[in-house]
Amino acid sequence: MKEQKIEKFRPRIYIDKEGNWYQDGIPVLHRWTYLHNNKLLGRDEGGKYYVDEGSGKLYVQVEDTPFVVKMIDRRKDGFYIILNDETEEKLDFNNLWINEENVVYTKVKNREFEARFLRPAYYEFTKYLIQEGDNFYIEVDKTKYPLKSEKYS
């Protein structure tokens, strides 16, 4: 009887739901390496994440989202989010949703990636939410933006 060989795909790079990177099971703690990897992150046509340093794609396993919202900052001209790669973006309320576990997400990087709100950002964000019945919304410049319970592409 012929023995079947089963190979398991084990990516060398893994990103956990808190935005922490691991290579070969070891946390990536060097700040420059961490930030550089985030800059090189891409997605293929099938939606898989990869890092490409020029010599080919190295696929990345992502637990939830590759980017996370670490902080939210309300300014005169709107709300800004600070991501784990130390960049900031103006929050687009049309790209915001909440899942069944009450985790808030948004689209980032020109809508190419999704980002999960970490607890500190979530708690800061909820200070501005207004409840109307079972629904929540945020009001900016007299416009109400509902917190959707489903992902919009």
Helix then strand then coil, in percent of the chain rounded to 5, is: 15, 45, 45
Q: pLDDT by residue (tens digit) across 119-150?
A: 999 999 999 999 998 888 998 888 899 988 87
Q: pLDDT by residue (tens digit) across 98-122?
A: 998 889 999 999 999 999 999 999 9
**Cβ-based neighbours of 106, under 8 Å, separated by 6 or more:** 69, 81, 91, 92, 95, 96, 97, 114, 115, 117
Cβ atoms within 10 Å, residue 92: 15
Burial letters 121-146, b for 16+ CB under 10 A, else e: bbebbeeeeeeeeeebbbeeeeeeee
What's the sign of the alpha-carbon dihedral 20, 26, 32, 36? negative
**pLDDT of amino acid 21:** 97
Fold of 13-62: duf1285 like fold (3.10.540)
